[in-house]
Amino acid sequence: MPNDGKAWLLISRVETFDTKTAGSEQSGSAVFIWSRTIWIRYYRSTLSSSFLLRGGRVIDPASGFDATADLLISGGTIAEISTKPGKLSVPSGGALIECEGCFVVPGLIDPHVHLREPGAEHKETIATGAAAAVAGGFTSVCCMPNTTPTIDLPSTVEFVQMRAAASRKARVFVAGAATVGRAGEQLAPMGAMSAVGAVAFTDDGDCIASAGMMGKVLAVCASLDKVFMQHCQDPTLTVGGVMNSGVVSARLGLGGWPAIAEEVIIERDIRLNRGHQCRYHVQHLTTAGGVEIVRRARADRQPVSAEASPHHLLLTEDACNNYNTQAKVNPPLRTDDDIRALIEGIIDGTITVLATDHAPHASSEKARDFTAAPFGMIGLECALALYIKALVESGAIDWTRLIALMTIEPARLLGIDALGHGRLAQGLPADVTVIDPNVSWKIDSESFHSKSRNCPFEGWQVRGRAVNVFVAGRHALVGGTLPATAILTAHASFNAL
């Protein structure tokens, strides 16, 4: 866009041109910008409220719809989906986007991210995290409560909602803390947080170690019909642990973190939950033994689900060699056998959700020695391509299943499917992601919209990327680029559309 100090903010029309003549061209009050296969014309005018996505493969796993179709967005909702070529036309003042060769899917949903605000805005803010989400193809994320102060009060839930609405990027749903200060000693006011919009509860970053307190949390979550998401780590078994317990940790002289520390908590909680039947979710599952415990519980019709993260599907403990702090994550990277078990769990339906566990940290923090460096890595902006690499390119699952794991399944987990999220159908909110499955690109954290750069996949060549994203009918990602947007007065209701 021209750097003339004026507000080139809003998109009025998209026109297709011959991409052999790449470059830029200005005419009057308009500017054309080339983005792979389309030219995008920007105007100083009102944002178009209508978009026709033409000729893409529309996939809606919730309904089983999978066909070449046109999708019309109007007034913030999906106005119509038609498999008849030419039936739908661009409304006056609307925008046409050619989607041939692309997938048009429900907006991707990440149920497990860390946005750091309030308290650690040098790592990430709600605005930068929401921007990173859109850049990665996500229309909705659920942020964890391990902030400073902890998200353990209705007022803090509302603070996050208002900051997210002000960002005008991805929707941000909130997981409230189950215990005050995430200390595991006193129940947080979960009912009050639920009343203002908290969609889940967790003490993520810490496990609720007390079985007695865990039983109380499960009972309250069951009464509220909210999912409890557990960070499965017995703290008595991980004292001094900074990576997987095994040959590599022994060679590096680093404290080991055994698989059993994850598995005993999963087993304990499932047993505790038999009397409560709370919806119970295992966050960032990493071990073969944990997969088997969840598999047995689901076969026994227990309300148990689990998620896998991209780094646990692609990296092993070997990534920690040379004391690489970018590979230090909680729970730790495991072994090839664990990766095979996780993928098998995805194939057979034991694992139903994919989640990034996006955990930004400042470069200075990750530059410390391995023991002192913080756990965590970022993932929002490269997760889609990494899942494609681990699961689709490997032949483990097909595209339809991948989209389900990133849309309707996390929507059901958080209970936001009732709001129309995770699905494509007439009359539902127009949260839509357009994916080009063939674009090849190199992961470059310096180009990320996140404030942090702690990405162990730096320099990886990957395939597949979101090129257009709509949030409540707003064109939030345009040809793979985040357009400048006006800062508007925030309304918490934005997240409830």
CATH number of the domain to which 238 belongs: 3.20.20.140
pLDDT of residue 42 exceeding 80, the answer is: no
Same domain? For 355 and 435 the reply is: no
- Residue 190 maps to a domain: yes
Peptide bond preceding 118: is omega within 30 degrees of 0, i.e. cis?
A: yes
Same domain? For 413 and 436 the reply is: no
Both tokens assigned to 299: 């076969």
SS3 442: strand
Residue among 10, 56, 109 at smallest CA distance from 421? 109
- Residue 79 maps to a domain: yes
Q: How many domains does the chain have?
A: 2
- Residue 491 maps to a domain: no
Mean pLDDT of the chain: 90
pLDDT of residue 20 exceeding 80, the answer is: no
Q: Rounded to whole angstroms, how far apart are CA atoms 159 and 429?
A: 23
pLDDT of residue 473: 97
Q: What is the pTM of this model?
A: 0.89
- Residue 492 maps to a domain: no
CATH code: domain of residue 78: 2.30.40.10
Residue among 175, 153, 118, 174 at smallest CA distance from 495? 174
- Residue 471 maps to a domain: yes
Boundary residue ending a domain (372, 397, 419): 419
pLDDT of residue 39 exceeding 80, the answer is: no
Q: Are 93 and 12 in contact (CB under 8 A)?
A: yes
Boundary residue ending a domain (367, 385, 419): 419
Residue among 341, 365, 361, 345 at smallest CA distance from 353? 345
Same domain? For 44 and 167 the reply is: no
Pairing of strands 50-60, 103-106: parallel
Residue 49 — pLDDT band, cuts 50, 70, 90? Answer: confident
Both tokens assigned to 261: 């520390």
Which DSSP string corresponds to 76-126?
Answer: TEEEEEE-STTSS-PPTT-EEEE-TTSEEEEPEEEEEE---TTT-TTT--H
DSSP collapsed to 3 states, 300-330: CCCCEEEEECHHHHHCCHHHHHHHCHHHCCC
Burial class (CB in 10 A: 0-12, 13-18, 19+), 395: exposed
pLDDT digits (tens, 9 = 90+) for 328-355: 999 999 999 999 999 999 999 999 999 9
Average pLDDT over residues 112-141: 98
Range of the domain at 55: 10-105+430-486
What share of the chain in percent tops pLDDT 70?
Answer: 88
Active site amino acids? 357
- Residue 90 maps to a domain: yes
- Residue 393 maps to a domain: yes
Same domain? For 415 and 435 the reply is: no
Lowest mean pLDDT among 18-22, 309-313, 462-466: 18-22
Same domain? For 141 and 227 the reply is: yes
